[in-house]
Amino acid sequence: MPRFPQSASLSRNLQFSVPSPHLSHSLEDVGGSTLSLAADSDHVYSGSSEHISVWSKATFRLITQLKGHLGSVLCLEHAPDRKWLFSSSGDSTVRIWCTKTFTPLFILNPYSDTDAGDLFSLSWCSQRQTIYIGCQNTSLQWYTFSDNPQSSGNATPRRAHKFFDSFPQQLHRAPAAHNEQHAEESSDGDCVESATSPPTVHVVLNIPGSNVIDSAHYGYIYCMAVIPSYHPRAFGNHTAPDNQLTLATGSGDECVKLWACGPNARPEVKHNLPGHEGAILSLIVKNETVYAGCQDGHVKVWDLETKTLVRSIIVQEGVDVLSISMAQSELYTASANGYVQRWSSSFDCTAAWGAHEDAIVLSSIVTTDNRRGTSYLITGGNDDRVKFWDLASSTPVNTGYVGDFIAEDSQLRSGQSPAHVNSHSDHSGIFQGAMEYALSKFISFPSVSSDPVHREDCRQAAIWLKKCLVQLGAQSMLLPTGHGLNPLVLATFHGTETKRTKPRILFYGHYDVIAAPDQDWDSDPFQLSGRSGYLYGRGASDNKGPIMAMAFAAAELLFHRSLEVDLVFLIEGEEECGSTGFSETVNRHKKDSIGRIDAVLLSNSTWIAEEPPCITYGLRGVVRVSLEISSGQPDRHSGIEGGAHVEPMLDLVKLLATLTDSKNQVQVPKFYEQVRPMTEDERQLYSRLAAITQQPASSLAARWREPALTIHNIEVSGPKNATVIPGSVTAQISIRIVPDQELSVISQALVDYLEQSFKTLNTANTIKVQVVHTADWWLGSLEHPWFQTLEEAIQAEWGAKPLRIREGGSIPSIPFLEKLFGCQALHLPIGQSSDHAHLPNERISLSHLHRGKSVLERFLKASAEKFSS
């Protein structure tokens, strides 16, 4: 991180003593530079050169785009009392949008006899119901809204100004030429505009000439702020009227002006705050203090009562301070070099970071998210990115553990005391923010079970998960699975005691992940990265995200005394390597540590498409075989020995060719005899799924319910160059089995067939066939009450009946657990088909993660009602 020059500054450089805010999420706004930002309780609005993007705070997903401006959206202002969003533009208009329906309400034209040019700044005064506008032509204009604004009967098109107008020239028309046609209401109520069609609005408004102060400054009015509370001392006397308020404006004339706005909302200049060097580009007022960001790289700090310049903060010499924001007593400055700096109340620099690398930070705001119980600094740049910086993360925390999620994390993010937390009735925000925080910690462990280098990382992931579950309210322990193998995490959330016998549900998952080569990822695979509504990281979907969803579902129910089942977590660390040691360990601890189980639940797959929701009811099994053919001799040179001996590779090719016929049918005797025939209900289901996925029904059936044989690879001994005859060759073969093929029968039949077929070759070479891994198929009972309960929970959350799907892969632990405990197994997918599990840029939708947690809560509550005895 480059240091900023501090030699001429009185501010101490403390940026390494307190951590910088964590990048919580990044949004991609393809519309171009993010010139302006605003937020309400549910949404974030970003203005670009083309449109206004509306983002959900809950999911970080794009909701809609507000189109209609014919120039860049230079400023956004939220009016919470009206539920309006004001936008000003280079097309010299102000538009007013409804923040509930996202429809346009008004177009507000500046005074028609004045070529206002670009409208750089806006400020809403709820006390006066007035919007103030800072213009490129140096005028200050305002409009007061009555209860029923009326359109102007004689609105005339504004003339294009050859100097001030910045509308796209390719349109070949004046940007604000709003005529009577534009004022017509939409017959169907849909008022969202396109960029090329005439805007459809309810009312066109014009600012009268009496509401204009020409030459309010001697430069463009770049920024302004209504001082939020009554400040009589701002006017130098203590007898100012009770209904007086102050407007501060900053301009290219290197001056901040304070205006008194009386009952008629008309500003009257009372004070000039000179002494700035360069244009005033950004402005904020808080606690009777004015902060002005300047073109020279300084922030001037003025005391509002005495009109005294109390401090000049040197951010970076000669670098424009384009935006400033405040969170409590901390000041955040955003500069044209892409950096953001944080300043304490004593004007010390406590953090500096490249918020937008190789770009310019054009806008910033501070907003809170009550769902997560945190505050964000949001920055926008000319790199098509809107970034959310979690301000809570800049407070030192114990990074080794998940923390006390219910107390420590909630206090950290909201500043509340434990007493307040415990008495609050709605804690969903606490759990939502804590779950994302916990998942970021879980992802940070590179728990790759297939690589011995990460053996200790796997163990540390297991230890962390055990402690996490303990802090969420479970009793937890680690179960060893054998030498060199990763331990199991066993944890139990004990439900509230009642007079009835509680159901005991086992949740199965795995904390190990597949390898993640860095070069194929857009971000660090082991650092959770939020982008455009998705959380990226290895294991986000498979399987760490679903584990956290279940853990926090149980924790929230437990917190509200609503958990009335016993929930047993059984999380292994060898699933990606075939679950070695799992069955033996579970058998060993079944009676003493695990106990009775009434149902098994897992979430280790994805939906078949992006929507609608799904429930998985079937998995294929697998038999994996290693086949080796050897001559018993060393590798030979093909030029010297070629033709003198039967080569192992030739025998292998001949043998592998006998496994299937010309129609790809497996030639192992009686291979298809036990395959369950397709029912008419299945045919209808596959036809429905084919219409949704745009894939042939026969393809889905072949992947899910038909057996298949695959030759995976061939390895040779020796240096593997083109002149060597390998002395031995090996091949990996697998068979996917389906109901009602018997695992042991198919395994033995494959081995026998390979050995018998090899004998017919009459070769001097030898063969060795070894079954290296098996997993049985699984098929759930869709009519079972447990399955119906899960389906009802999914439908209640998503408002749609889930699709019933199967998977072509295998999870060996599921049929084993189902048979061991003699109960029904259930499979709830949370991820989507585009999650890239096992691939680069694995991700999970933030919305799906939280809604998956909600489905699990519904399921646990319904299970307590239905299955308690």
Q: What is the pLDDT of residue 381?
A: 95
Average pLDDT over residues 130-151: 87
Q: Which of 100, 130, 104, 101 is nearest to 51 (CA)?
A: 104
Q: How far is CA 552 from CA 94, 439, 510, 723, 822, in A?
A: 45, 11, 16, 60, 27
Pair 786, 826: CB distance under 8 Å: yes
Tell me, what's the pLDDT at 37?
Answer: 98
Q: Where in the chain is the domain with CATH 2.40.128?
A: 67-169+182-216
Closest CA to 185 of 175, 169, 199: 199
CATH 3.40.630.10 positions along the chain are 405-619+779-839
- Kindly report, residue by residue over 174-185, the tens digit of the pLDDT: 333 333 333 333
Q: What are the pLDDT digits (tens) for 586-614?
A: 999 999 999 999 999 999 999 998 889 99
**Number of Cβ within a 10 Å radius of residue 310:** 12
The pLDDT score that the predictor gives to residue 190 is 35
pTM: 0.82
For the segment 735-764, the average pLDDT, to the nearest whole number, is 96
Model confidence pLDDT, tens digit, residues 630-654: 999 998 888 777 777 889 999 999 9
Residue 169 has pLDDT above 60, yes or no: no
803, 608 contact by CB (below 8 A): yes
According to the model, what pLDDT value does residue 248 have?
96
**pLDDT value at position 408?**
42
How confident is the model over 26-73, as pLDDT tens digits?
A: 999 876 799 999 999 999 999 998 899 999 999 999 999 999 999 999
The domain 405-619+779-839 having CATH identifier 1.10.150.120: the answer here is no
Are residues 81 and 177 in contact, defined by beta-carbon separation less than 8 angstroms? no
More confident residue, 635 or 163: 635
CB of 421 within 8 A of CB of 487?
no
* Span 59-116, pLDDT tens digits: 999 999 999 999 999 999 999 999 999 999 999 999 999 999 999 999 999 997 668 9
How crowded is the C-beta side of 460, counted as CA atoms within 13 Å? Answer: 14
414 pLDDT exceeds 80? no
Question: Which of the pair, 854 or 191, is modelled with greater confidence?
Answer: 854
Please state, in angstroms and rounded to a whole number, the distance separating the CA atoms of residues 449 and 458: 7
Average pLDDT over residues 560-583: 96
Q: In this predicted model, what pLDDT tens digit does every residue of 200-239 receive, in sequence order? A: 556 899 999 999 999 999 999 999 999 865 444 444 544 4
Q: Which two tokens stand for residue 673?
A: 């005899």
Torsion of CA 649, 655, 661, 664, to 10 degrees: -70
> Which of 74-78, 277-281, 517-521 has the highest mean predicted lDDT (pLDDT)?
74-78
How many Å apart are CA 416 and CA 404, to the nearest integer? 14
CATH of 67-169+182-216, picked from 1.20.120, 2.60.40, 2.40.128, 1.10.101, is 2.40.128
Average pLDDT over residues 134-140: 96
According to the model, what pLDDT value does residue 645 have?
84
CA separation for the pair 830, 850 (Å, rounded): 10
> Which residues touch 303 (CB under 8 Å, ≥6 apart)?
288, 289, 310
Q: In the prediction, which pLDDT does 287 show?
A: 82
Nearest to 390 by CA among 529, 205, 534: 529
Bridging pattern class, strands 298-303 and 289-294? antiparallel
Among the ranges given (368-382, 667-681, 698-712, 739-753), the one the predictor scored with the smallest mean pLDDT? 368-382
Give the lowest-confidence range in 25-34, 338-347, 372-381, 444-453: 25-34
- What is the mean pLDDT of the segment spanning 812-823? 95
- Kindly write down the DSSP assignment for every residue of 546-586, as one continuous string: HHHHHHHHHHHHHHTT---SEEEEEEES-GGGT-TTHHHHH
pLDDT higher than threshold 90 for residue 525? yes
Looking at residue 643, its pLDDT comes to: 78
User: Residue 304 and residue 272: Cα distance in Å, rounded?
Assistant: 11
**99 contacts: CB under 8 Å, gap ≥ 6:** 40, 43, 78, 83, 84, 85
DSSP lists the bridge partners of residue 267 as 261
Q: Which CATH architecture has domain 621-672+707-776?
A: 2-Layer Sandwich (3.30)
User: Exposed, middle or buried by CB within 10 Å (0-12, 13-18, 19+), for 670?
Assistant: exposed
pLDDT-derived band at 9, boundaries 50, 70, 90: low
Find the mean pLDDT for residues 755-761: 96
Location of each CATH 3.30.70.360 domain in the chain: 621-672+707-776
pLDDT confidence bin for 773, thresholds 50/70/90: very high
* Residue 154 pLDDT: 40
The pairs formed by 238-243 with CB atoms below 8 angstroms and a separation of 24 or more are 243/127
Question: pLDDT at position 523, please?
Answer: 94
Please report the pLDDT score of residue 168 as a whole number: 38
Beta bridge partners of 45: 38, 54
The pLDDT value recorded for residue 15 is 61
Write the DSSP assignment of 60-109 as a string of letters: --EEEEEB--SS-EEEEEEETTTTEEEEEETTS-EEEEETTT--EEEEEE
Distance CA 610, CA 289 (A): 50
* Most distant CA pair in the chain, distance: 114
Query: What values do phi and psi take at 369, rounded to 5?
Result: -125, 100
Residues 425, 685: Cα–Cα separation, whole Å:
44
Rg (CA), the chain: 34
pLDDT at 430 over 80: no
Pull the structure tokens for residue 238: 């203590």
Give the mean pLDDT of 395-422.
38
The sign of the dihedral angle between the CA atoms of 58, 61, 64, 68 is positive
- pLDDT per position as a tens digit, 382-399: 999 999 999 987 654 333
pLDDT at 50: 82
pLDDT score recorded for residue 152 = 47
